[in-house]
Structure 1
Amino acid sequence: MKQYIKKLLVLPLAAIFFLGACTDNFEEMNTNSVGISDEDLKADYQFIGVHFPQIQQMIYCNYNWGWGVNWPFQIMQNLNADIYSGYMMTPTPFAGNVNNTTYALVDGWNASAFDYTYAYMMPAVLAVKNKAEVEFPSFYAVSRILKVLGLSRVSTQYGPIIYSQYGESKTGGEYDKESDLYNNFFTDLEEAVAALEKYVEDNPDAQPFAKFDNFFGGDYNKWIKFANSLQLRLAMRIVKVAPELAQQKAEEAIKRGVFTEGDIAQIVANGYTHPVAAISGSWGDISMSAEMESMLSGYQDPRIAAYFNAPADEAVIAAGYEYKGIRQGIAIDDKATYGGHSLLNLAPESPAVLMTAAEVYFLRAEGALRGWEVGGSAEALYEAGVAASFAQHGVGGLEGYLSSEALPAAYVDVKNDANSVAADSEYMNKVSPMWDAADNNEVKLQKIITQKWIAMFPEGIEAWAEYRRTGYPVLFPVVKNDSQGVIDSDNGIKRLNFSVSEKNNNPDGYAKAVQYLGGPDNGATNLWWDVDGPNF
């Protein structure tokens, strides 16, 4: 795609322009220019609500800013987290096949998640704060939940980010170190929940947010459950570095009420299209991963047809494969070599799923392993998580699946056997779906995270974070490592490099961020919560 490559080449300049403009021209960007004032719009909340489509849709990077709505997502998430999570792999040898997939981190790609979030999402968040904090607390509460959701995703990619001081200076503000960042996340979520609970109590039938809500149709009770569920997710994220705080915040969230079966947080809006539907189905730039093929086919998992399409490659079909993935970090000469492997089964109208009941059940199952008060046993919550995922995708066979002792299948690269992985390899994720009470907690956790990994597909940011936090599921290392010795193939990518525009435009902030990071600004430096060693 020549047009797309050209866009990649000019991205850093565009990103720097918009990042610099997001504070300098803030008043101009958020002032109506057609003669209707904020006072005129207050009657139906339009003067606040107008900002929410931009906030909500930018979380999954599909806001239509006039250049098209899919290619920014490709470099914000799809060519990093979606691949590093073990979910997907591209058949396209971008930049001569020396790129993020082979650990040669491309600055023009790495900066985009940071630059676009601060250029498009955060000015709208700040606009809502300025307009609603005092007079319209329920709108402000929702914006705080969305701020935590959006920036917690960005932080899992980079580490320290600008949060509490955002908007305080023309350079964007000071960075928060990650330990402070998570405390700020919890404060925002708890205060937002309290504000929404009060509003619902005082106005039980009111739905002022309905016409602006791309998540829950204006139902504040669902926003409350989502905020609590998000707090549970973030509490578990820090369990290895702040175990007491993690337990406290997790238990508090569960007591207030979290997602249960049937609950889901997803972006559904008129005109919204799922970016990966285009990236995979239209462009053919992202496909099933080798690990997904190995685990789903080995487990005979009925969700495989909901996730992926059959391959089109004649050699793959002739070899008898119903689905075929691509291994990350291999030598690819041209797109045609692997372009006929399984694409993702996503339609343009597919919602962008950000959190499910299944994920929450698995989080609670891990909490039960740790002795927390989570409202159930690890086994019961684990099985509830699998059941919720099966129900979400409309597949049957749950009882047989939960009693299965099947293991992941060997991976065979029909184009190059050097990329194949044997069933007895140390890189195979050797656990079955069946729960065994006799297993130790580490094995039980591996089962929980493996099933959570399957259930969260295709949301790669959270899956990549959980892989780094726990080491599960076990993934295949890259074959071709172009990091020049910076990144260990077995350890994998730990984070993305900070934005080049921050180095140039906010040098003091950047220096502080690297100091907080505690290591070099490269893909091998662990984030604060990513602690090497056992999980218990």
Structure 2
Amino acid sequence: MNYSTIKKRFTVAGFAILAGSLLLGGCTKRFDEYNTNPFGISNEDLAADYKLLGQPLVQVQQDIYVAQPAWDTQLQQNLIGDNYSGYMASPTPFLGNQNNMTYALVDGWNGQPWADAYNDVMAPVQAVLKNAGTQYPVFSAWAKILRVEAMHRLSDIYGPIIYSHYGQVNSDGSITYDSQKDAYYAFFTDLDSALAVFTPLAQNANAPKTLTNFDQVYGGDFKEWVKFANTLKLRLAIRISLIDPTKAQAEGEAALANPIGLMTAPADNFNVNIGTFTHPLNTMNNSWGDCRFGAPLASYLTGYSDPRAPKYAVPATDPAVAGKVIGVRNGINIDAKGRYEGYSQPITFPNYSAANGAANFVQLMTAAEAWFLKAEAALRGWAGAGNAGTDYNSGVTQSFAQYGLDATAYLADATSTCAQYIDPKAITPGQNDITTGSPYLSTITIKWDNSATFAQKLERIITQKYISMFPDGQEAWSEFRRTLYPKLYPNVVNFSNGSIPTAKFIRRINFALSERNTNPNGVADAVKKLGGPDTGGTPLWWDVN
């Protein structure tokens, strides 16, 4: 898909819709649907089968990561987190190769995550909370869990966001942003509120399955939702562990102490059923040719002789690299799509049978991640986390299990390391290569080593966590910024005019143009809360690296 098409579709379907909407507190393409009875009957009638409460949350689940249209997802995540994580790269030199990948941030692209979050998550959630009131606490609790899952991802793109002040218009017409710290604290409050409702239901075998008709993940199973909420809470606690260790430990230990526990096996994976929709990555990859496998991930898979490689990537077809799993390095000189079109593609999704029953799905959290979160919590001495090495091994084992693979031999490998990256198609020979001795080439091995340093143990945990979370590049990018692991490859080309130091990598995306135009006072205050200029080089609150 070319940039002119992206720009045209974005302008019509996203930017124009969002402009000015925050000031009305509506923030949704379909807000009226959720405040107007679509069936010509009363709210009381709808309450009998919960459609007024449940149907909006079907959309929310499928728009945390937009299921369709694919151009929307391309702007929401693929040209941001998927690329910056090293999971994927585009062979297409959009805008003469001056675009997000080369740090020339494109306003017309970067407002889409904001539009999606407020149009398709915050607005329907707000409607559900309003309609549920105190009469339907189950739906209120569910809406809060979904809101946190979507909005923490948004905050991890921009930093400060509108969360606790959503729909509240100030006297000057602005809406106030939460600092990222305040947003994260609000996320914990929402999860605690939801868990207080769901945990007793999960412990009651006779609890009514009120969510079943609308639940696109777990079929109305409260126990699975409690496991997910606990794991999400632990994810957020680990995320802030370097900047706010006391709060992080308290929240993390609370999640670990919940009687229902965390996600533990692939049947617990948070896979959103997208029904008959085509997975958007398949469209970007197979139809448009705008998406190829990322060089760093391919190098780890190759160096480790990782059995998951064929579950992630298709071997290259270009004669220069045919048969290899080789990705495209992000932020390089590209003259035309044809140069790298024959490098490895991501596999067609979904790339395995979902244990929790979804035939066609988007994966947003795995049980493997839960084990790696526990491993890091144990490394940091948090109560209830168990043993770091045991948790690490369980994380790798469960990642393999979701693809029907055995991790025994892999976990015993104490010698394999990340492979060098040699790019024979580079415009300037050798320019893109990452070879032995480079500070950007990891030397971490697979087998757990109790005698290793803290840093080595953390790198080992995060590297395997990174491999296991594919293809969710947003979460992988966040973890890289937090820990600087796994080791990734810096840009060769940097068009940021110095606002994003190459060696420090990109840290965030600038605030949406629609917000700068319609909520300038709110954005000005948000920049103060950010603590630095509104550029891609300013680190987020939790990003102390």
Superposition TM-score, scaled by structure 1 size: 0.94
Question: Which aligned pairs between 1:359-374 and structure 2 lie closer than 5 A?
Answer: 359-374=369-384
For residues 418 and 351 of structure 1, what CA distance do their matches in structure 2 show? 38
**CA shift at 1:53, angstroms?**
1.3
Q: Secondary structure at the match of 1:186?
A: helix
Q: Does 1:273 align with 2:278?
A: yes
Distance 1:12 1:51, change over 3 A: closer
Q: Which moved more, 1:402-411 or 1:439-448?
A: 402-411
* 2:209 aligned residue (207, 210, 213): 207
Structure 1 letter corresponding to 2:110? N
Q: Does 1:185 align with 2:187?
A: yes
Q: Does 1:230 align with 2:232?
A: yes
Q: Does 1:97 align with 2:97?
A: yes
- Tell me, yes or no, if the aligned pair for 2:23 and 2:167 is still in contact at 8 Å: no
Q: Which moved more, 1:282-291 or 1:12-21?
A: 12-21
- 2:340 corresponds to: 338
**CA shift at 1:421, angstroms?**
1.2
Q: Secondary structure at the match of 2:383?
A: coil
**CA shift at 1:530, angstroms?**
0.3
- 1:306 corresponds to: 311
How big is each residue's C-alpha offset from its partner over 1:474-522, in whole Å with a ceiling of 9 and x where there is no partner?
A: 1111001111111111111100000111111112211111111010000
- Tell me, yes or no, if the aligned pair for 1:19 and 1:115 is still in contact at 8 Å: no
**CA shift at 1:132, angstroms?**
0.9
For residues 349 and 468 of structure 2, what CA distance do their matches in structure 1 show? 18
For residues 504 and 17 of structure 1, what CA distance do their matches in structure 2 show? 8
- Tell me, yes or no, if the aligned pair for 1:411 and 1:423 is still in contact at 8 Å: no
Distance 1:279 1:507, change over 3 A: same
For residues 202 and 493 of structure 1, what CA distance do their matches in structure 2 show? 47
Structure 1 letter corresponding to 2:383? E
Q: Secondary structure at the match of 2:446?
A: coil
For residues 91 and 234 of structure 1, what CA distance do their matches in structure 2 show? 33
Distance 1:396 1:28, change over 3 A: closer
- 2:501 corresponds to: 488
How big is each residue's C-alpha offset from its partner over 1:158-185, in whole Å with a ceiling of 9 and x where there is no partner?
A: 0010111112239683211111111111
- 1:415 corresponds to: 425
- 1:293 corresponds to: 298
Q: Which moved more, 1:201-210 or 1:437-446?
A: 201-210
Structural RMSD (CA): 1.9
* 1:403 aligned residue (404, 409, 413): 413
- Tell me, yes or no, if the aligned pair for 1:298 and 1:406 is still in contact at 8 Å: yes
Superposition TM-score, scaled by structure 2 size: 0.92
For residues 411 and 100 of structure 1, what CA distance do their matches in structure 2 show? 22
Aligned length: 524
- Tell me, yes or no, if the aligned pair for 2:10 and 2:72 is still in contact at 8 Å: no
Structure 1 letter corresponding to 2:98? V
For residues 278 and 214 of structure 2, what CA distance do their matches in structure 1 show? 17
How big is each residue's C-alpha offset from its partner over 1:247-272, in whole Å with a ceiling of 9 and x where there is no partner?
A: 11111101101111232111014224
For residues 212 and 374 of structure 1, what CA distance do their matches in structure 2 show? 34
For residues 336 and 360 of structure 2, what CA distance do their matches in structure 1 show? 30
**CA shift at 1:119, angstroms?**
1.7
Gaps of 5+ in 1: 64-68
How big is each residue's C-alpha offset from its partner over 1:251-304, in whole Å with a ceiling of 9 and x where there is no partner?
A: 110110111123211101422432112111221111111111211100000101
Distance 1:413 1:208, change over 3 A: same
* 1:515 aligned residue (521, 528, 532): 528
For residues 122 and 472 of structure 2, what CA distance do their matches in structure 1 show? 22
Question: Which aligned pairs between 1:320-469 and structure 2 lie closer than 5 A?
Answer: 321-347=323-349, 350-416=360-426, 417-469=430-482
Distance 1:518 1:142, change over 3 A: same
For residues 212 and 75 of structure 2, what CA distance do their matches in structure 1 show? 32
For residues 82 and 24 of structure 1, what CA distance do their matches in structure 2 show? 26
- Tell me, yes or no, if the aligned pair for 1:89 and 1:327 is still in contact at 8 Å: yes
For residues 292 and 27 of structure 2, what CA distance do their matches in structure 1 show? 41
Structure 1 letter corresponding to 2:334? I
**CA shift at 1:28, angstroms?**
6.4
**CA shift at 1:355, angstroms?**
0.9
**CA shift at 1:372, angstroms?**
1.3
Distance 1:24 1:76, change over 3 A: closer
Distance 1:530 1:37, change over 3 A: same
Q: Secondary structure at the match of 1:124?
A: helix
- Tell me, yes or no, if the aligned pair for 1:87 and 1:457 is still in contact at 8 Å: yes
- 2:113 corresponds to: 113
How big is each residue's C-alpha offset from its partner over 1:68-110, in whole Å with a ceiling of 9 and x where there is no partner?
A: x111010111001111111111001111110000000000111
Q: Does 1:156 align with 2:156?
A: yes
For residues 404 and 412 of structure 2, what CA distance do their matches in structure 1 show? 16
How big is each residue's C-alpha offset from its partner over 1:293-338, in whole Å with a ceiling of 9 and x where there is no partner?
A: 2111000001010001111212221xxx421111110011110100
What percent identity do the matched residue pairs reach? Answer: 44
Q: Secondary structure at the match of 2:320?
A: helix
How big is each residue's C-alpha offset from its partner over 1:89-138, in whole Å with a ceiling of 9 and x where there is no partner?
A: 10011111100000000001111101221122211001100011311101
For residues 440 and 199 of structure 1, what CA distance do their matches in structure 2 show? 43
Question: Which aligned pairs between 1:24-63 and structure 2 lie closer than 5 A?
Answer: 26-27=31-32, 30-63=35-68
**CA shift at 1:424, angstroms?**
2.3
How big is each residue's C-alpha offset from its partner over 1:9-50, in whole Å with a ceiling of 9 and x where there is no partner?
A: 655334426656762895565202442221111111112112
For residues 514 and 18 of structure 1, what CA distance do their matches in structure 2 show? 21
- Tell me, yes or no, if the aligned pair for 2:396 and 2:407 is still in contact at 8 Å: no
* 2:26 aligned residue (10, 13, 23): 23
Gaps of 5+ in 2: 351-358
Q: Secondary structure at the match of 1:490?
A: helix
- Tell me, yes or no, if the aligned pair for 1:15 and 1:116 is still in contact at 8 Å: no
Q: Which moved more, 1:268-277 or 1:456-465?
A: 268-277
For residues 19 and 532 of structure 2, what CA distance do their matches in structure 1 show? 25
